[in-house]
Amino acid sequence: MRRIMMLITVATVVFACGSKNESTNTEDYGEAEVPTEATVVDENLIGQGAALVKQNDCNTCHHVTSQIVGPAHTDVAKKYEFTNENIKMIAERIIKGSTGVWGPVMMTPHPNLSQADAEKMARYVLSLDGEKEPE
Ligand code: HEC
């Protein structure tokens, strides 16, 4: 009877270790699956915003320093102070579309973007003239 108890104890310990290793491996896979630079989780909201601008259609109409269809993003940064109100306002314009602020040309709406993602992109744009992020 003692022997059997010993066996059970050993088996339990081995099993516990086995499943612990397994969960560590799953975490490793999670990291290895990150395929591109753009999806790397960046704690920095401005960095995330830059990645989102690359992933979306923004650069078809915007260039960092030159006007194309829309204003150069550095010009947008110069026009607005880096405040929380401006982040919200610009994010709403990105989602709902905009016209009449820079000229008659329309920025197409982006209804699939979340407010949070649009705000990250607004942060990135507003950071382009070197202004510091609001607290
Ligand atoms: C179809 C072309 C087009 C696309 C695509 C586009 N924009 Fe625009 N964007 C414009 C135009 C045109 C304006 C100026 C609108 C106005 O005068 O109201 C503008 C304005 C802006 C502004 C300034 C808003 C303000 O309040 O002054 C920002 C910031 C901006 N776009 C960011 C983005 C981002 C980020 C994306 C991608 C999600 C994007 N745009 C996609 C054409 C575009």
Q: Closest ligand 1 atom, CA of 98? A: 18
pLDDT at 1 over 90: no
Q: 17 falls in which pLDDT band (50, 70, 90)?
A: very low
Task: Say how far apart CA 73 and CA 94 lie, in whole Å.
Answer: 13
pLDDT averaged over the chain? Answer: 81
Whether ligand 1 lies within 6 angstroms of the CB of 120 is answered as no
Q: 33 falls in which pLDDT band (50, 70, 90)?
A: low
Task: Say how far apart CA 65 and CA 50 lie, in whole Å.
Answer: 14
The confidence score (pLDDT) of residue 34 equals 47
The confidence score (pLDDT) of residue 15 equals 47
19-48 average pLDDT score: 56
Whether ligand 1 lies within 6 angstroms of the CB of 85 is answered as no
Whether ligand 1 lies within 6 angstroms of the CB of 95 is answered as no
pLDDT in tens, 56-83: 999 999 999 999 999 999 999 999 999 9
Whether ligand 1 lies within 6 angstroms of the CB of 16 is answered as no
The confidence score (pLDDT) of residue 43 equals 63
Closest-CA residue, ligand 1 atom 23, reads 76
The confidence score (pLDDT) of residue 3 equals 62
Q: 42 falls in which pLDDT band (50, 70, 90)?
A: low
Task: Say how far apart CA 119 and CA 85 lie, in whole Å.
Answer: 10
pLDDT in tens, 88-109: 999 999 999 999 999 999 999 9
Cα–ligand 1 centroid distance for 98 (angstroms):
7
For 90-110, b/e burial (b = at least 16 CB within 10 A) is bbebbbeebeeeeeeeebeeb
Whether ligand 1 lies within 6 angstroms of the CB of 50 is answered as no
